[in-house]
Amino acid sequence: MTHARGERAALCDLLDRLGPDAPTLCTGWTTADLAAHLVLRERRPDAMGGIAIKPLAGYTASVQNALKARHPYPELVGLVRKPGGIYGVLPFLDDAVNTLEYFVHHEDVRRAQPSWEPRELPTDLEQLIWKRVSSGARLMLRKSPVGVVLHRLGGGVVLGGARGGSRVEVTGRAAELLMFCFGRQAHARVELSGDPHSVSLLREASLGV
């Protein structure tokens, strides 16, 4: 099983266990909202534009809400569990595109629950995550008002954020750095060092793709 399929299955198991009304780290979304988002992303390409383009966000939200209303929650999770659209027929593309998507959303649900702890990840998944963080840091940190130095525990340094001026060093495992860079700063187990004002600005910055 690929890591994309593994994260998808684990997320769906958790969604089934928690039910439709559990919180997530996605602001304003319950588990049912997140499930509807994932169904839309794979099965309604006509409505995907609003995920990234603000003028289209209203249509995307209306389709997402319609999916949630039309499908009972167990059915909605069932649609997430089975890769849809092009990912259903091209597993290699599912792995390339969805490994981080499902990892982050799996953690969005896990870390919104009480007493969560970081998972021990397979070495190859940790390495893959670091590779994606390394290649995507500039994009994910583009809105940071301060410079950022990512230090991976076990080796590796990547720069991002504002060029020039003060810098904040962020240290942690690859998965924690990923969650931080995806805008989940408050729920990433990392250490930040720098002047207090710069650290505060980075904690509150809008990060992610």
Do residues 137 and 197 share a domain? yes
- For residue 3, the model assigns a pLDDT of 93
Do residues 94 and 158 share a domain? no
Higher-pLDDT residue of 75, 97:
75
- For residue 12, the model assigns a pLDDT of 98
**209 occurs within a structural domain:** no
Answer yes or no: is pLDDT of 94 > 90.
Answer: no
- 192 three-class SS: strand
Answer yes or no: is pLDDT of 178 > 80.
Answer: yes
Do residues 96 and 11 share a domain? yes
Residue after which a domain boundary falls, among 88, 110, 132? 110
Do residues 97 and 130 share a domain? no
pLDDT tens-digit map of 35-80: 999 999 999 888 788 777 888 789 889 989 999 999 999 999 999 9
Higher-pLDDT residue of 180, 89:
180
Residue after which a domain boundary falls, among 56, 84, 110? 110
Exposed e or buried b per residue across 135-147, where buried means at least 16 C-beta atoms within 10 angstroms of its C-beta: ebbeebbeebebb
pLDDT tens-digit map of 121-139: 999 999 999 999 999 999 9
Do residues 128 and 106 share a domain? no
Do residues 103 and 168 share a domain? no
Please report which confidence band the pLDDT of residue 95 belongs to, taking 50, 70 and 90 as the band edges.
confident
Q: Which bin fits 147, alpha (ψ -120 to 50), beta or left (φ > 0)? A: beta
Beta strands in the chain (DSSP E): 147-152, 157-161, 167-172, 191-193
Q: pTM (2 decimals)?
A: 0.93
Residue after which a domain boundary falls, among 50, 84, 110? 110
- For residue 49, the model assigns a pLDDT of 80
CB 147 within 8 A of CB 90: no
- For residue 149, the model assigns a pLDDT of 97
Query: What is the CATH classification number for the domain harbouring 167?
Result: 3.30.1050.20
Burial of 173 per CB tally in 10 Å (0-12, 13-18, 19+): buried
Total structural domains within the chain: 2
CB 35 within 8 A of CB 77: yes
Q: Which residue range is the domain that position 76 belongs to?
A: 3-110
Do residues 54 and 140 share a domain? no
The count of residues in the chain is 209
**116 occurs within a structural domain:** no
Answer yes or no: is pLDDT of 96 > 80.
Answer: yes
Mean pLDDT over 178-187 rounds to 96
- Output phi, psi for 157, to 5 deg: -135, 135
Answer yes or no: is pLDDT of 185 > 90.
Answer: yes
Do residues 14 and 104 share a domain? yes
Query: Average pLDDT of the chain?
Result: 93
